[in-house]
Structure formats: C-alpha cells, structure tokens
Amino acid sequence: QVQPVESGGGLVQPGGSLTLSCAASGSSDSIFAMGWYRQAPGKQRELVARIFIGGSTNYADSVKGRFTISRDNAKNTVYLQMNSLKPEDTAVYYCNTRYSSASIWGQGTQVTVSS
C-alpha cells in the first residue's frame, strides 16, 4: 500500500489555527477509517481524531471542541482543522489510513505551538 501524505504543519502562536491534510491512495470505498495521531518527544503516540466510513468520529478529550476532522471522498483526503492551539498540542502529527486488510502510516508533519 502507498503511504498517505500529510501536509499543513508548521509553527503557530498559541490561540492560532492550522489545517492538516492527508491524501490517501485507493478508492474511498476501500478505506474503513482515517485518523490523525500525534507523538511528542518522550511520549506515547496518541489518537487525536478519527473518522469512519459511515461518518462517525472519535476525538481525544484534550481536543474536543477545538479540532474537527473531515474528509473529501472524491479526493481521498482527510483534514484536521485545529483551532485555539495550545503549546501542549506540539507534536508530530501522523495520518493513518485503515483499509480492510492493512493499516498504513504517513511519515508525519510537525506542528509547533509557541510564542
């Protein structure tokens, strides 16, 4: 399977916003779920948000009300709109694409929230 490709990371001030994009391969019908995970140095990788084929979503408690996951099925792309960013959101963000028989990770994109 081809790796999904993340984009949109960067440096932002606290309270600011960023939108991450993840472009996956394959047909939309073959993708069971797509999700965003993040990992800070010395920390475990954690789920940030996930969207399933039926449209249901999961969010980490720490981002509820601030982050929104969405998808464009025609483009096989998932987005993560991040608002009201906090320093503790600083991490490498990884896109995961879940197919029926495989789960594929992107290489990650750095998000840094700092004054």
Residue 54 or residue 85, greater confidence? 85
* Cβ(45)–Cβ(62) below 8 Å: no
pLDDT tens-digit map of 64-79:
999 999 999 888 899 9
Q: How confident is the model at residue 82 (pLDDT cuts 50, 70, 90)?
A: very high
pLDDT above 70 covers what percent of the chain?
Answer: 98
The string over 16-48, giving b where at least 16 C-beta atoms fall within 10 Å of a residue's C-beta and e elsewhere, is: eebebbbbbeeeeebbebbbbbbeeeeeeeeeb
pLDDT tens-digit map of 9-61:
999 999 999 999 999 887 767 889 999 999 999 999 999 999 998 899 999 99
Provide the pLDDT for residue 38. 98
Strands (E) across the chain are located at 5-7, 10-12, 18-23, 31-39, 46-52, 57-59, 67-72, 77-82, 91-99, 103-105, 109-113
Provide the pLDDT for residue 113. 98
Measured CA to CA, the distance from residue 50 to residue 54 in angstroms comes to: 12
pLDDT tens-digit map of 91-111:
999 999 998 888 999 999 999
Provide the pLDDT for residue 1. 63
